[in-house]
């Protein structure tokens, strides 16, 4: 029983340390760029020895993958119960803008992975992004099917919407005049008015 408790406590501590490493690495990637950030700098920022850092992650590429994959996971959160498509689009918009707020310093990296980034990691990220875009397409398809949106190229609709939301990473400032929720609601309002059936 004591061994089980100790292992559980160790697991919690490891998870906490991993999260701290990812958070500090995210800040460093944002402030000085991924290429110019070293494992030594990440270790120093966390307050651990460089060899200890390798106990948690085997390299900088792995850290970047975990950060980007975490952002995708957050964006892909779904409600426990199915929502009407317009409500679902609103929820997706808010999720995306939350990711832009929390990961804006590496959003550009997601669309332009650094040279030498492991092919398998890139494949996983691209497949997950593709699945997410396909999910957004299904929301637009439902909105056209129920008569809310006018018929159009579903893929183009989804990409225009996705691109507008992620482009906010270029200018959004959490200390600026608009909150994340206000920006998300503006984008949602603009998208729905642009695609809605005119009657």
Q: Give residue-wise pLDDT tens across range 128-153.
A: 988 988 999 999 999 999 998 888 88
Is the model's pLDDT at 13 over the cut of 80?
no
Architecture of domain 1-58: Orthogonal Bundle (1.10)
Sequence-ordered alpha helix ranges (H) in the chain: 2-32, 39-46, 50-56, 60-75, 85-111, 119-145, 154-167, 180-195
Separation of alpha carbons 132 and 19, rounded Å: 24
Domain boundaries, the chain: 1-58, 60-199
The b-or-e profile of 166-187 (16+ CB within 10 A means b, else e) is bebbeebeeeeeeebeebbbeb
pLDDT, averaged across the chain: 86
Q: Give residue-wise pLDDT tens across range 47-90.
A: 999 999 999 999 999 999 999 999 888 888 876 678 899 999 99
Q: Span 60-199: which CATH code?
A: 1.10.357.10
């Amino acid at each position: 029983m004591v061994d089980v408790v100790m292992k559980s406590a160790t697991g919690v501590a490891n998870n906490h340390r991993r999260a701290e490493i990812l958070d500090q690495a995210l800040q460093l990637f944002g402030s000085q760029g991924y290429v110019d950030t070293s494992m030594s700098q990440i270790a120093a920022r966390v307050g651990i020895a460089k060899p200890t850092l390798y106990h948690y992650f085997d390299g900088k590429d792995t850290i970047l993958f975990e950060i980007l994959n975490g952002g995708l996971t957050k964006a892909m959160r779904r409600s426990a119960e199915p929502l009407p498509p317009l409500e679902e689009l609103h929820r997706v918009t808010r999720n995306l803008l939350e990711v832009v707020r929390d990961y804006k310093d590496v959003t550009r990296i997601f669309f332009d992975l650094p040279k030498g980034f492991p092919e398998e990691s890139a494949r996983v990220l691209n497949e997950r992004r593709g699945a997410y875009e396909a999910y957004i397409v299904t929301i637009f398809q439902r909105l056209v099917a129920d008569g809310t949106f006018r018929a159009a190229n579903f893929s183009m609709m989804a990409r225009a919407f996705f691109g507008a939301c992620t482009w906010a990473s270029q200018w959004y400032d959490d200390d600026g005049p608009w909150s994340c929720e206000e920006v998300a609601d503006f984008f949602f309002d603009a998208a729905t008015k642009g695609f809605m059936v005119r009657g």
